[in-house]
Amino acid sequence: MTSNIENVKYELWLSETEANAGVNKLLIRNDRRLDVIVPPGTRDGTMVKLPNALQITDGRAGDIIILIKIKKTAGVVTVDEGSFGGEVLKSELPVVVDFWAPWCGPCRMIAPVMEKLSAEYGGRIKFCKVNVDENPQLAAEYKAMSIPMLVFFKNGVEIGRSVGALPEPVLRAKIREIFG
């Protein structure tokens, strides 16, 4: 006797932060709720299987298979003392972190350059910013005495830094020099 069990497939889109940290998501099917537990470090294309979940939602045998898709985010990510570890130190991508403050004129000059480069290098290099006034512990830890200060990270380790508002061509060359 052959079995006519059909599995159901879904796609679940996550941010890079959610995929790195792990997340619980709710799936609703036929007015039934299922918890989808996505483990930390999940990569794009990972399959999460909910064994025999169709018994709960449809009253029949079968699994729900969820394909994880990760949104590649461009743009400068605002980080703080709570998110710095996940966004910067645990990032699989190299990271440029801009230590800045809203009252700092040179900081405002470099902000559009960071935005432009984040779009250009999207998916290859992550760009983040830390407001030193709102995150004094991070500013002290990284000795952000003069701003803007850019700190370059690879595999969670600082591999370079720069102080002052760099013109776009200079910052672009520095990124190539540091990250290759």
Active-site residues, by number, are 104, 107
Q: Quick check: 44 and 68 in contact, CB under 8 A?
A: yes
User: What's the CA gap between 63 and 26, in Å, rounded?
Assistant: 16
CB–CB of 122/77 below 8 Å? Answer: no
In sequence order, what DSSP letters do the residues of 153-176 get, joined into one string? EETTEEEEEEES---HHHHHHHHH
Residue type present at position 138: L
